[in-house]
Structure 1
Amino acid sequence: MDQEMVVMEIICNAGEARSLCYEALKLARQDDFDQAQEKLALGKECLNKAHLMQTQLIEADEGQGKVPMTLVMVHAQDHLMTTILAHELATEIVALHQKSVG
């Protein structure tokens, strides 16, 4: 496993997911809830890819410090976790706005 490639995959997929979350929020403000849900679904797919990469790192490490911790890896993990939160919040905000519009 090329650690640098895995870390970059996490960053790229998390970044794409975050962008899709914000696109979903913009679409919800325009009352385009079908497209907003589509963007959230695409974002979830990107998050799943990033999470799979994270799982590969965890499995390779085996809880024994076999995978060296680098600053870019910490950045990737931070990016992934904040994007997971952004997706959860965007999903709730879109649902709340849709409910308020009726």
Structure 2
Amino acid sequence: MEEKNLEAIMGLIMFGGNAKSDAMEAIAAAKEGKFEEADQKIADAEASLVEAHHSQTGLLTQEAQGNNMTVTLLTVHSQDHLMTSIAFTDLAKEIIDVYRRMDSK
């Protein structure tokens, strides 16, 4: 596997993992009524997802240019990690909203 591709794949895993961790911390903060902290953690998660998308875009651009890469388990894992992190961050926003509504009553 080319070093450039490996860096992009590891970026997907790292930034996806960071996003999921920040989203989990955001839920925990909201559960304690710390909504400013929760909002900041969600913003951090979204920033990590943007970085992950940059890594993904690099891989997709290479393929669109005809530079196909061998798909490995690591590649599949990185894509799975990113998609799970996106879904988890979206769900975290909804959970935070529920906590916010409960807190306002």
TM-score normalised by the chain length of structure 2: 0.92
TM-score normalised by the chain length of structure 1: 0.94
Q: Which runs of 4+ in 1 moved over 4 A?
A: none
How far is 1:52 from its partner?
1.0
Distance 2:21 2:7 in 1: 21
Aligned runs of 1:1-102 on 2, under 5 Å? 2-62=4-64, 66-102=68-104
| Residue identity (%) | 32
Which segments of 5 or more consecutive residues in structure 2 lack a partner in the other structure? none
RMSD of aligned residue pairs (Cα, Å): 1.4
Which segments of 5 or more consecutive residues in structure 1 lack a partner in the other structure? none
Distance 1:46 1:58 in 2: 18
The size of the alignment, in residue pairs, is 102
